[in-house]
Amino acid sequence: MEALSQLAIVWAGTFVAIVVARATRFTAVIYYLAVGAILVNVGWLPEEVDPFIQGFAGVGIMIIMFALGFEENTSAFIQSVKRSWGIVFFGGLAPFLTAFWLAYWFWDDRQVALMVGLAMTATAVSLTMVSLRSEGLQSSQAARRIMTSAVLDAIAPLALVAVLVPFATGSGDAGITEIGLMVGKALLFFLVVTFAGALVFPDSLKGWQSRAPLLGRYGIKNVLAFSNGQFSTVTALMVAVTISMVAHGFGFHFAVGAFMAGLILKKEYFRSDAINGSYADTKRFIDGLAFTWVGPVFFVVLGAKLVFDWDIIVSVIPHTTVMVIGIVVAQVASAALAARYTGGLRMPAAMMVGFGMLGRAELAFVVMDIAYVEHSVFSAEAFYTLMLTAFCLNVAVPISIRLWKPFYEETARERPALHQVLETETG
């Protein structure tokens, strides 16, 4: 009953957050985070939520990422990967170095500085994509750059964690073997997913595939249309869970696998003549799970990680202020310039990419847990500085996207007109 009571409180909080969000015309994500922080600090939620709620939140982020991948155009995503390398490299290096040197300046400890740098490296893409979706920008060019960059960005921070955590915690040495193993696992994971997409998911089987047992007779279209499409949603979620488990088995966050699962399930695989279970019907149901009643739990639980100790909070306000400003400047500038000069985006779209890369969530809290709880590398002051910094950066994502949206949309409207003018002049 305790778990159900906590779930009822979380859902009540999400309802309040939605009402306030509509009244203020801001995305609900910022209020989900705030509700979580309020609930835990007034004592309505415990500091350690029930394992059921924690697992439910994990399912929420998995479905969110699957829903985002499910509505993405696969060909456009793959094309965008080619232009995202600069955003990944420079957008990860700049915040790492900034956080490292600021932490070293604050606490004069190289191990603490390494862990702080790691915590501030990876982008919380789920928060960004939900924020973009609330503004109707989830299929925009900037959103596609952010998503592709974040998928690639999931590899480097995990490799850094595997390599640098033993050194930072004093529990081992980083070597070439560990680096090679992580890179090899990353490549193998994407090969496995690509093979599954090529073998199992084509809507028309040809050659040796058509002669394979069962596979030759029952392609993915047949499975999705089984029983007039009544089980298409269950089938889609089964694919999401399966590939998420594969990703976890390779050492990556399962949300990366969920996004890849959504990416390889194309709209063409759903039979338009099915009585139930068309692409539109399946997408509507999955969106309801992701953005209405399961996904919001993830953000409330994330906000509930910020437990207030006022004496420590007051003492770290200067550290937090400097860290937030430093990360914002480094992240936005590096990602935006990379998107502009290596990704080919115009500056308003490049700035949107920079704002979208500000969030810090899953990996940041994993690193904090390792450094503070498991190995006691962080002092309480360092831990609270990072918690407050991550919270401020997460709040900055929906606010900055909302405020920058008019500039981005104005440029997007101008582009077709300019293109038509040039065609007229040349033609």
What are the tens digits of pLDDT across the range 295-346? 899 889 888 887 888 898 999 999 999 999 999 999 999 988 988 888 778 8
User: What's the confidence (pLDDT) of residue 218?
Assistant: 58
Residue 179 CA to residue 5 CA, distance in Å, equals 45
Q: Please list, in sequence order, all residues whose beta carbon lies within 8 angstroms of the beta carbon of residue 137, skipping any fewer than 6 positions away.
A: 143, 352, 401, 405, 408
2-426 is classed CATH 3.40.50.150: no
| pLDDT 10s digits, 184-242 | 776 777 777 777 666 656 555 555 555 555 555 556 676 777 766 778 888 889 989 98
Q: Report the half-sphere exposure of 90 (CA within 13 A, side-chain side).
A: 21
Start-end of H helices in 2-73: 2-24, 28-41, 51-70
Residues in the chain: 427
- Residue 203, helix vs strand vs coil: coil
Average pLDDT taken over every residue of the chain: 78
- Residue 157, helix vs strand vs coil: helix
Place of tokens 């990556």: 252
